Amino acid sequence: MFQRSRHYVPPVWPPEDGRQQMMMHVDIEVPDLTTAVADAESLGARLADTQYQDDVRVMLDPAGHPFCLYRETPNP
């Protein structure tokens, strides 16, 4: 069951001491990173200001929860 909290504080990315931490972590494998980022943005997500890897994009959902989109690795 999901419910709203009127005292909700969005997590921060990257994590900072004393600030709300993420509550869970979701990684989504995608065939094309650029298209997946555009699709996520069209649904209300935004690209996080801090990115650490070329083949992963940290996104923030409309409530501020981070999730990662990462490029599929080709089969050998």
In residues, how long is the chain? Answer: 76
| Tokens (6 digits) for 30 | 């995608």
Q: Per residue in 42-63, pLDDT tens?
A: 999 999 999 999 999 999 998 8
Residue 59: its pLDDT value, please?
Answer: 95
Q: Residue 25: exposed, middle, or buried by beta-carbon count in 10 A (0-12, 13-18, 19+)?
A: exposed
Residue 25: its pLDDT value, please?
Answer: 77
Residue 6: its pLDDT value, please?
Answer: 80
Residue 17: its pLDDT value, please?
Answer: 86
Pick the CATH number of 27-71 from 3.40.50.620, 3.30.470.30, 3.60.90.10, 3.10.180.10: 3.10.180.10
Positions in the chain whose pLDDT score sits under 50: none
Q: How many CB atoms lie within 10 A of CB 66?
A: 22
Q: What angle do CA 12, 56, 23 make, to 5 degrees?
A: 35
Q: What is the pTM of this model?
A: 0.73
Single-letter residue type at 24: M
